[in-house]
Structure 1
Amino acid sequence: MKTLGEVLEITEKTDREDKCRKIYRYLVSRFIEEKTGLRKIDEKLKNQEKPPLPVPWEEMEEFQRQDYLDMEYFYLRNPVHTESLDEEAMEALEELLENNSGEAAARAGRVVEETYKKVLAFSDEAVGQVQLFPSLAGEGIVPADALVLVLAAVPDYDEQGNLKDRQQEESRLRLLVSLKNQLEPILTRRMDMPVRILIQEP
């Protein structure tokens, strides 16, 4: 898992907006992890007797590659709209670049706690939906104000591109769908906002 120090190093040569966006993404990822307990679930998945296969780096979409949750199976799909923050909030984030103290971190943490719903929203409209990807059954359509997590695991194929074990694949899909259905209402309560979990298709 990346540390705040590593994130601050990455932002050294970027502009103000990009620096604040990266810092906010890191902090909100830690906030989500703490509020949801997702890391424990991720670890349980990873430690199963036959764990689902994680997505290889070369097959990851950009959101997963840039993700700061830094988990095996879950990543955050929301954009981070730091442009919606006021000047005082931006300054609190920037302060971490100059002064990585406990006080500065606490101040930036309070910014995240007070603004995460607004900053992670796909749209300014409180009511509405957005389509993240086209789909026949509408699974790519989510509320505009939702926190969207992707549950990403791939089937196990042989060298010819055929499933190695169809029964195991059915078991994998059942597990992912069951997790999604169990977690969405729980995480919605914990985050105090709509939470949607998308199962990444291969």
Structure 2
Amino acid sequence: MGVEALTSYDSYGEVAHTQHASRCDYVGQPINAVVVRRWDNRVPKTGGTVYLTNAPVSDPFTVFDTYDWRSVIENGIFKEGKHPWHLLRFPQRTEAAVVVHCHFTLLVMSLCTAFRLWQAQSALAPTQESEAQRSLSTALLAGEGTARWRQRLREENRDKIIVFLGQAYGIFHLAEFAILTHLPLRRLPSALGTPQAVLQRFGLSP
């Protein structure tokens, strides 16, 4: 249900107006509201949800749908950007530095999400992949945020090393590299198999 021109919200408005909120004759600036009287066809037991807005409320569902995008911005961009991406750590406290930092951070967040979606799509079976191409969405990430994704990458790669030889390089599990360089190991991770299996994977004989 839409309600127009509420004046009971003292904190809404410009500072020049709200600074007089403690006066007896103070009247708040008008703001519209959408009151949710039923949720999932049930009346709330204790009060209900009210959406405040300066937009028209002739169609309350428009305000409700718009709020969904606000939650996407708040949870998917602000909270995600503030912690894993250090959105609030500006290089300098100037307007130009803040603007550049925010734009650059959002750009890198977008590139990272695009890469993760491509990676998740590439891991699908052929029939699933064709379906995903028609409806590519963050559902492919299965709710895994940036922080958990980085933690998973650390766990998956913490025992790996990069070895450079001239212009060539190779990525090895640390235990694999030990076998290849004839360093003695008491025990190998079960996923790598036996020392003989490690050598065979690289086309070497014991």
Q: Assess same fold via TM > 0.5.
A: no
Normalised TM-score (structure 1): 0.24
Q: State which structure, 1 or 2, has the greater radius of gyration over its C-alpha atoms.
A: 2
Which structure shows the higher strand fraction? 2
Which structure shows the higher helix fraction? 1
Normalised TM-score (structure 2): 0.24
